[in-house]
Amino acid sequence: MFEMREGYRVVAIKRANGRFTKCVLDKHDKIVEKKCTGCLEIKGLERFNKNSANKFDGRIQKCKKCDAEYSIKYHVENKERNRKYDAKKREQLAEHRRKYDEEKRKRLAKWDRYG
């Protein structure tokens, strides 16, 4: 837990999605700690993975530990779905390669005629 020091304050900041995040700001209004949405603990920013799409503070909303637990749980629960998705993508990629190779052969054959 964060020890309150002089010049630091706890605030709830509204994010772009309309939800609020509890953060600890320093005297320069820079975020130094925030609340994890998984374990609900206030932790330092170094305990959150980076996310450049998050314009709020550049970090994800779950701490690294909670994010890892969620990721493992998701992959275990969706194993069959992921297998089907991977098989479909492999098939699509193979079809794309076949088309590309055929078009390339036609382009090269055109140049060979005039060579």
**pLDDT tens, residue by residue, 79-99:** 999 999 999 999 999 999 999
Predicted structure pTM score: 0.65
Tokens describing residue 102: 């055929």
Tokens describing residue 13: 């900041």
* Greater pLDDT, 102 or 54: 102
Q: What is the pLDDT of residue 4?
A: 61
Q: What is the pLDDT of residue 38?
A: 93
Cβ atoms of 63 and 43 closer than 8 Å: yes
Beta-strand relationship, 59-63 and 48-50: antiparallel
Residue ranges per domain, the chain? 9-62, 78-114
> What number of helices (H) and strands (E) belong to the chain?
2, 6
Neighbours of 63 (CB within 10 A): 22
Q: Which residues pair with 59 in a beta bridge?
A: 50
Q: Which residues pair with 63 in a beta bridge?
A: 48
Q: Report pLDDT digits (tens) over 20-56.
A: 878 888 888 888 888 999 999 989 999 999 998 887 7
